[in-house]
Amino acid sequence: MGKLDGRVAVITGAGSGQGAAAARLFAGEGAAVVVADVNADTGQEVTDEVAKSGGRCVFAHCDVSDAQQVAAAINMATSEFGRLDVLYNNAGLWYSAQGNYRPGITDGPSPLLEENIWDRTLDVNLKGTYLGCKYAIPEMQKVGGGSIINVSSIAALRVGSGASDAYTAAKGGVLAMTRTLAVEHAKYQIRCNCIFPGAIKTPLAGPFTPDYERAVESHIPLGRWGQPEDVAKMALFLACDDSSWITGAFFVVDGGYTAV
C-alpha cells in the first residue's frame, strides 16, 4: 500500500523542479494528481511521464495568480477524481539578481526595487497561495479534512548576501498565513504546514555556473545543493498520515544552512 492510496492532490508548479518531483512521488504512493503549471509544455510532459509509469494524473494549465485558473485546477481534481485531499502550494518565482541587480528585471532592495517586480512576485508567491487555499478548503471540508502544504523559503528566516525584498516579503507572508490557516481550519481536520527550502537545484535558483555552485555549497554544512526530491519527500510526509498530529508548523530543508 502507498502512503497516499485513495487521496487526490493538486500540486502547483508541478511542471518542473520540486513540483515535478512531488508529482512523481505522490503518484507512486497511490495519489491521483493534478499537475498544475503555467507552462503547458513541461506540465503536460510531467503528466504524461507519470501516466506512463502507471499513475493517475491530469494536467491543468494554471497561472496561480489568476483566480479563475486556480478554481479550474481545483475543480479538475473533483471532476476527474471525485474529491480533494491534498493541496501543495509549490508554484513560485524569484527574479534572482545573483549579485547583479538590474532595475525592472531583478528583485532587490526596496529603494531600487521596481513596482512591476514587486507586484508579480507577490501575485505568484503570496496571492497564489491564498487562491489555492480559497478554492481548496471548501472541497476538503466536504470530505472531512485534508492537508495543505505551503512553500516559503529560508529567505524568510535569514538574510542572505543580497536583498530580494519582494521575494522575502512574499515568503514571510506565506509563513504567517500558514499559521492562521492552521488554527482557523483545524476544526475541519484540515492541516496546514509550511516547508522552507534552502538552495535547491531547480530552474528557480539558476542559472548555474561552476563558481556560483561552489560559492553556495561553501555555506551549506552538508556540503551540497539540495535536490528537488529532498523537498518532495518532506511534502509527502506532510501530505500523508505520518504527520496527522502536525499543523501550523514549519520545516526547514536546507542542508543546515540556517543553523550556522
Q: Which parts of 87-221 fold into alpha helices (H)?
A: 115-122, 128-142, 165-185, 210-217
What angle, 0 to 180 degrees and rounded to 10, lies between the N-to-C axes of helices 128-142 and 165-185? 20
Question: Distance between CA atoms of 68 and 76, rounded to whole angstroms?
Answer: 12
Given the residues 167, 188, 212, 257, the one annotated as active site: 167
Is 167 an active-site residue? yes
The Cα 64–Cα 71 span in angstroms is 9
Distance between CA atoms of 45 and 39, rounded to whole angstroms? 10
252: left (phi over 0), alpha (psi -120 to 50) or beta: beta
Do 10 and 88 touch, CB atoms closer than 8 A? Answer: yes
Is 240 in contact with 2 (CB distance < 8 Å)?
no
Return the percent helix, strand and coil in the chain, to nearest 5. 50, 15, 35
Are the beta carbons of 182 and 134 closer than 8 angstroms? no
If you compute the radius of gyration of the chain from its CA atoms, what whole number of angstroms results?
Answer: 17
Place of cell 513560485: 92
Task: Report the alpha-carbon angle 208-46-21, nearest 5.
Answer: 60
Q: Which residues participate in catalysis according to the annotation?
A: 167
